[in-house]
């Protein structure tokens, strides 16, 4: 556990040029904690939790206080019994404490019934982001590792070709062969150096992309711990697995939407439900003709009561709202049916791609082994003077091409395996968050 968590404590403490050797699981774990997409999903989840709590707060007592003050420029007057009576005083003020408590409220009932599903929506959205992160990070990780393997092949070819170039030039200088042999060797050597340089440059871009995906410090160094044998094992899967739409997070999201739509239809039907609330208030009133004496004497009053509101007629609005909610349910039902077909298409496509990539990888791997065997034989024959140098160049080119193609095929196989796991809903996201 200490060895596993140590690299992550190092990442949090320093953004200087530090180096860490990470396995695929560690890279994904780091992405779960630092990837921008994951951070946004976590914030959305927290926002959703706060929104649910805010919507449920209406069940608690609502306490408000208010204050007012007025100067009556012209007091009200009214003739009573033949006399002109003046009402009120020049200055008046009031302090009000009001407490309201919802007893029956369809908005609050709806918020309580949907809160679990709203939270579930945000959780499912985060799971969707986690799955995408695992797939994208894994592909970027494999791309870098297989590029490293290609660089190793090119380095081996470079060393071998440099030796052959020197041997060909030495033979030409000794008069054993004409200059075309070492000229061909020089051309081949230049091509290998160019391919090597291109591969080295591409590694930097691929590492930058991986850092972007996982939220790794740009200025920090990173090295990847890997095993080709392990990649081969990860690339193989059971092609007899049965696809179940309910295993896909997209299907689960639509199911949650359908549940919320059903609850919303019920909510619209509750439009005939009355609203009942209890209230209590205490009001301190102040009156005086002199402002300095206004607050010397108060005239408080207090009340407690119930407020019942019953909607009777709203011009057909309730009926239309119910119909809209039912149509929304029908729309989601169509969306779910279409999603099932889409998931099935994705599964069939992913399975076909995986099987073809698996066959291609095995074929290319076998061709690579044959090309290596052919090269060794022709190299031996060339050294003995049996084969021409052009035959050696052709054999070496075929070997290098088959070796590079082998790693390209391996990447395609790993990528299609990830796509197949995603289509089946088998992407594992059992990673903890350390935020």
Give the 3-state DSSP-derived string for 112-129, with helices as H, strands as E and coil as C. HHHHHHHHHHHHHHHHHH
267, 72 in Cβ contact below 8 A? no
Helix, strand, coil tally for the chain in percent (to 5): 65, 15, 20
The total domain count for the chain is: 1
Q: Is 285 helix (H, G, I), strand (E, B) or coil?
A: strand
What pLDDT, on the 0 to 100 scale, is given for residue 330? Answer: 95
Has residue 308 been placed in a domain?
A: no
Domain ranges, residue 367: 19-59+105-274+313-424
How far is Cα 94 from Cα 394, in angstroms, rounded to an integer?
Answer: 101
CA distances from 67 to 11, 61, 164, 252, 296 (A): 55, 20, 97, 51, 16
Please give the Cα distance from 88 to 75 (Å, whole number): 6
- Cα angle at 196 between 234 and 181, to 5 degrees? 125
In a domain, 291, yes or no: no
Instruction: Give the pLDDT of residue 417.
Output: 94
In a domain, 413, yes or no: yes
Please calculate the CA angle 178-169-392 and round it to the nearest 5 degrees. Answer: 75
Q: Which residues of 279-300 are buried (b: 16+ CB within 10 A; e: fewer)?
A: eeeebbebbbeeeeebeeeeee
Q: Is 275 helix (H, G, I), strand (E, B) or coil?
A: strand
**173 is written with which tokens?**
């200088």
From the CB of residue 153, how many other CB atoms can be counted at a distance below 10 Å?
A: 22
Which pLDDT score is estimated for 324?
A: 94
The first and second tokens of residue 342, run together, are 């889409």
Close Cβ partners of 335 (under 8 Å, ≥ 6 residues apart) = 254, 257
Please check whether residue 67 lies inside any domain of the structure. no
**What pLDDT does 182 receive?**
65
DSSP class of 247 = G
37 within domain boundaries: yes
Which residues in the chain land under pLDDT 50? 1-18, 435
Q: What three-state secondary structure class fits 293?
A: helix
Question: Within 13 A of 74's CA, how many CA atoms are on the CB side?
Answer: 2
Reduce the secondary structure of 37-52 to three states and give it as a string. Answer: HHHHHHHHHHHHHHHH
- Residue 67: helix, strand or coil by DSSP? strand
In this structure, what DSSP letter does residue 246 have? Answer: G
Position 435 in a domain: no
Q: Distance between CA 155 and CA 161 in Å, rounded?
A: 10
Q: Is residue 134 part of a domain?
A: yes
The distance from CA 219 to its chain's CA centroid, rounded to whole angstroms, is 24
DSSP bridge partners of 301: 283
Domain membership of residue 212 (yes or no) is yes
- CATH number of the domain to which 44 belongs: 1.20.1600.10
């Amino acid at each position: 556990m200490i060895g596993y968590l140590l690299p992550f404590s190092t990442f949090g403490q320093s953004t200087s040029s530090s180096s860490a050797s990470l396995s695929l699981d560690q890279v994904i774990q780091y992405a779960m904690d630092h990837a921008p997409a994951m951070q946004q999903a976590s914030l959305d989840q927290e926002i959703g939790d706060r929104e649910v709590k805010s919507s449920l707060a209406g069940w608690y007592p609502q306490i408000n206080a208010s204050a007012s003050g007025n100067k009556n420029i012209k007091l009200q007057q009214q003739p009573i019994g033949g006399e002109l009576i003046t009402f009120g005083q020049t200055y008046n003020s009031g302090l009000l404490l009001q407490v309201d408590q919802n007893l029956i409220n369809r908005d609050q009932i709806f918020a309580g019934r949907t809160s679990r599903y709203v939270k579930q929506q945000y959780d499912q959205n985060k799971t969707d982001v986690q799955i995408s992160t695992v797939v994208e990070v894994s592909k970027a990780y494999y791309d870098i590792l297989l590029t490293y393997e290609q660089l190793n092949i090119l380095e081996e070819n470079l060393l071998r070709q440099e030796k052959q170039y020197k041997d060909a030039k030495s033979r030409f200088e000794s008069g054993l062969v004409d200059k075309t042999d070492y000229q061909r060797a020089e051309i081949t050597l230049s091509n290998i150096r160019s391919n090597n340089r291109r591969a080295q440059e591409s590694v930097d871009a691929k590492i930058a992309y991986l850092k972007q995906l996982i939220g790794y410090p740009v200025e920090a160094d990173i090295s990847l711990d890997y095993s080709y044998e392990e990649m081969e094992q990860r690339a193989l899967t059971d092609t007899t697995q049965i696809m179940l739409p309910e295993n896909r997070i997209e299907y689960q999201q639509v199911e949650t939407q359908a549940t919320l739509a059903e609850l919303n239809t019920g909510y619209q039907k509750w439009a005939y439900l009355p609203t009942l609330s209890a209230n209590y208030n205490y009001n301190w009133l102040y009156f005086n003709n002199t402002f300095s004496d206004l607050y010397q004497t108060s005239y408080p009053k207090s009340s407690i009561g119930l407020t019942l509101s019953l909607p009777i007629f709203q011009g057909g609005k309730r009926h239309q709202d119910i119909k809209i909610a039912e149509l929304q349910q029908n729309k989601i039902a169509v969306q779910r049916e279409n999603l099932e077909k889409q998931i099935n298409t994705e599964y069939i496509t992913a399975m076909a791609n995986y099987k073809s990539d698996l066959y291609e990888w095995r074929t290319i791997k076998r061709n690579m082994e044959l090309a290596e065997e052919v090269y060794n034989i022709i190299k031996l024959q060339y050294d003995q003077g049996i084969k021409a140098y052009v035959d050696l160049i052709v054999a070496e080119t075929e070997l290098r091409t088959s070796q590079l193609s082998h790693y390209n095929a391996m990447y395609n196989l790993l990528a299609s395996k990830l796509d197949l796991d995603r289509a089946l809903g088998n992407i594992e996201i059992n990673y903890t968050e350390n935020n």
